Structure 1
Amino acid sequence: MKRSEIKRRPLSDTTLAGLEPDTKEYREQDGNGLYFRVKPDGQKSWQLRYKTPAGKWSWLGLGGYPEVSGALARQKAAELRNDAAEGKNPMATKQARQVAELEASSSTFSALAREWHASRLKTWDAGTAKRVLGALERHVFPAFGNRLYTGILSMEWMELLRGMERQGILEQMSRVRSYCKDAYDLARVTGRAINNPLDGVHKFLSSGKAENYAHVSLEELPALLRAIRSYPHAKDVQLGLRLLTLVAVRPSELREARWDEFDLDKRLWTIPVGRKGRKKGLEHLVPLSDQAVELLVELRRLTGSYPLLFPGRSDRTKPRSDTVFLMALRRLGYEGRQTGHGFRHIASTILNEHGFEADHIEAQLSHKAPGVRGIYNKAQYLAQRTTMMQWYADYLDGLEKGNVVQVHFGKVV
């Protein structure tokens, strides 16, 4: 639009957006001393013409367009005109307002959470950093991101977290609560907050274990097994999910597994003492069924050139994200119904119901017996567990195909 085509003032949004540059810079009056400036290169901005306390006319920039809309520019101009009418210097009051706005923006929960997030980047891999910030942006920032963090009450945090609880995303709720609590701790120890409104909130929320250990019923298991086999995304994740169903280890133990821990000829996986989750001070021997070996052979063709079974995408020296299996199950439609840890519960239930020795099952799950017996019983029942887990793999195959064989104490009935 040419400036000669302007028909009314204040300038409409259509006019502001459509005004074309000229060979020289020009200003168009919007009203009450507010002008819209257009430069030859097309840059547009707002200026206020005002009288200084000394009685001289001067210009004051109010910001570029479209960042500062017409409505916002008129609001700013009205505030500055009022300052001038009261004998104040609009330049000084503008700077004071900018300082106040900057202080307010740095005191929002979003600013605090991002500061806390930045402080942790040295200890996180890229996947973890992205996941944490994503959780905050999805669950917290829409409600509290622009609020002053010192003004958000404990009861408001409780309501936000209970909303996540009602959605059934208990593990995510627990993580988000922890992230936000840590952010407030940063504010507290740096002298910017006295109290942490998230202290004690966890006592009145679900622990998160319901989602950590969620698992489908035995009636739903065949459909889940078929869904996992048809997982359409990353092939290594699909193979990982199938391995979780067969070996009953903790998801972290499989996710962080290294190829040098496996002896496929002996059909044995030795999980070292130092592995995350190994709390018993012993290495854990995991017998591998025919089906597990087959999956590992296939997986080795994909990732065998790396030390890890499941190397990360951005850094091959680190394992995939600790939620990789959980997110895959979520994509399959099993959010809140099945988790990686839940496969251990399924295995325990099926093996106990079919009469296998409790000691053998507990050894497979790497649960230590209580008391002195737990300290000295290092036999691990490897031979018995080898038979048991081959039966279990065959049983799951039967479930998936709809052809189940029932047993009791290892004998077909």
Structure 2
Amino acid sequence: MKRSEIKRRPLSDTALANLEPDTKEYREQDGNGLYFRVKPDGQKSWQLRYKTPAGKWSWMGLGGYPEVSGALARQKAAELRSDAAEGKNPIVTKQARQAAELEANNSTFEAMAREWHSSRIKSWDAGTAKRVMGALERHVFPTFGKRLYTSILSMEWMGLLRGMEQQGILEQMSRVRAYCKDVYDLARVTGRAVNNPLEGVHKFLSTAKAENYAHVSLEELPALLRAIRSYPHAKDVQLGLRLLTLMAVRPSELREARWEEFDFDKKLWTIPVERKGRKKGLEHLVPLSRQAVEILNELRPLTDAYPLLFPGRSDRTKPRSDTVFLMALRRLGYEGRQTGHGFRHIASTILNEHEFDADHIEAQLSHKAPGVRGIYNKAQYLTQRTTMMQWYADHLDRLEQGNVVQGHFGKVN
């Protein structure tokens, strides 16, 4: 159907379906500022010509045809003209309506992710369920939560994940990528998505192990220990870094530690099963060296008014950011050379080189032995680890003071 053959306006459904493209793009007026656009390649869509709050004329797309029918386009145009008449910005109100519509239809990424979370929650313990949703709420929902999940492109996911990569939180980035890929897999197998935009993205991202486990050499360790003690910024962060050097725990375990978990009479920290979804199914017991107790007593006046050892600045009920220790090490000049997780590798290296029992070291690191042995060996070797970690704390003191020559001398008793 040629443009010249149009008999009436608003445009009839027959005219909309049969209008032929021309050598150049053209618009046909439907009425009241609503136009039907036809491109040379045959694509058709709706546009509204409206006056901005600043008094200037502008165009706004209302969707493609036939997805947006004539009746629906006229309804949308009427709503937006009403908004403009009331002095509202039609672009803002259009976005608000789209968001509300997506929410109502459970078509946002957040709605799909929460459905996925609900489908998996029975297979997780409470700690894992909380951690997974917390990661999505922190890293994904602010950017993509209100978006139509099928409209988010692979390149956009790559941008989000590379932003996390640049923050140095590679392990968290890897987990978030896996969670979101699973969300799309659920949408795909239930017929609500055709493709998974996160498929293959991991090939072009850094691996967590390469960066998160970075640590200085033993020759560089004394200088690092002295740098940490002189950390000039937040006192609680300085004390936290010192605790990481002494206890060989995961940075997340220390960040989320609560004062109620510490028994200062027994010099023992009990990390409960409920926290971090411990796969061994056991609470993890961490003996406290004399030095660790001294640091904790120094920290107490700063934060023991709150449940957490390291409460967040804006919300005291939540722990410090998951990058807090990494950023502190960067400020000290150790970017790419030392991470919070890397202190566990330093401890493992030193304790193994001094011939401490491998089972005691692995128990301190809360590692599960492979195979059948890992299933049946539930020992935590607390007495032996208490002695071992006191030796280790004394050894670090000597390194910091420059009273130790590095070498392979066997275990010190």
Q: TM-score, normalised by structure 2?
A: 0.61
Q: Take 1:322 and 1:164, find their aligned partners in 2: how far apart are those partners?
A: 11
Change (3 A) 1:181 1:373: closer
Supply the AA of the counterpart residue of 1:64: P
Deviation at 1:241, TM superposition (A): 1.5
User: 2:216 maps to which residue?
Assistant: 216
SS of the residue 2:394 aligns to? helix
1:64 and 2:53 are equivalent in the alignment: yes
1:95 and 2:77 are equivalent in the alignment: yes
Supply the AA of the counterpart residue of 1:230: S
Deviation at 1:114, TM superposition (A): 7.8
Which has the larger displacement, 298-307 or 397-406? Answer: 397-406
Deviation readout 1:49-87 (Å, 9 max, x if unpaired): xxx99xxxxxx851122xx7x7xx4x759x9xxxxxxxx
SS of the residue 2:53 aligns to? strand
User: 2:23 maps to which residue?
Assistant: none
User: 2:355 maps to which residue?
Assistant: 355
Deviation at 1:378, TM superposition (A): 4.8
Query: Residues 185 and 196 of structure 1 are in contact (CA less than 8 Å); yes or no, is this contact kept in structure 2?
Result: yes
Query: Residues 398 and 405 of structure 1 are in contact (CA less than 8 Å); yes or no, is this contact kept in structure 2?
Result: no
Q: Take 1:380 and 1:280, find their aligned partners in 2: how far apart are those partners?
A: 11
User: 2:255 maps to which residue?
Assistant: 255
Supply the AA of the counterpart residue of 1:316: R
Q: Take 2:305 and 2:75, find their aligned partners in 1: how far apart are those partners?
A: 65
Q: Take 1:159 and 1:229, find their aligned partners in 2: how far apart are those partners?
A: 37
Structure 1 unaligned residues grouped into runs of 5+: 1-51, 54-59, 80-90
Query: Residues 259 and 308 of structure 2 are in contact (CA less than 8 Å); yes or no, is this contact kept in structure 1?
Result: yes
- For 1:92-131, list aligned pairs within 5 A: 95=77, 102=94, 131=138
Q: Take 1:297 and 1:350, find their aligned partners in 2: how far apart are those partners?
A: 27
Supply the AA of the counterpart residue of 1:199: E
- For 1:13-412, list aligned pairs within 5 A: 62-65=51-54, 73=57, 95=77, 102=94, 131-132=138-139, 154=154, 170-171=170-171, 173-174=173-174, 177-178=177-178, 181=181, 193-202=193-202, 205-370=205-370, 373-375=373-375, 377-404=377-404, 408-411=409-412
Q: Take 2:137 and 2:335, find their aligned partners in 1: how far apart are those partners?
A: 20
User: 2:68 maps to which residue?
Assistant: none
Change (3 A) 1:106 1:410: same
Q: Take 2:163 and 2:80, find their aligned partners in 1: how far apart are those partners?
A: 36
Query: Residues 214 and 339 of structure 1 are in contact (CA less than 8 Å); yes or no, is this contact kept in structure 2?
Result: yes
Deviation at 1:294, TM superposition (A): 0.5
> Which structure would you say has the larger Rg?
1
SS of the residue 1:411 aligns to? coil
Change (3 A) 1:131 1:226: farther
Deviation at 1:171, TM superposition (A): 4.0
Q: Take 1:272 and 1:357, find their aligned partners in 2: how far apart are those partners?
A: 25
Q: Take 1:353 and 1:106, find their aligned partners in 2: how far apart are those partners?
A: 62
Q: Take 1:268 and 1:380, find their aligned partners in 2: how far apart are those partners?
A: 13
Deviation at 1:154, TM superposition (A): 4.7
Structure 2 unaligned residues grouped into runs of 5+: 1-30, 33-48, 62-72, 82-89, 100-106, 118-128
Q: Percent identity?
A: 73
Q: Take 2:317 and 2:163, find their aligned partners in 1: how far apart are those partners?
A: 38
User: 1:32 maps to which residue?
Assistant: none
Q: Take 1:313 and 1:298, find their aligned partners in 2: how far apart are those partners?
A: 19
Change (3 A) 1:270 1:245: same
Change (3 A) 1:160 1:271: closer
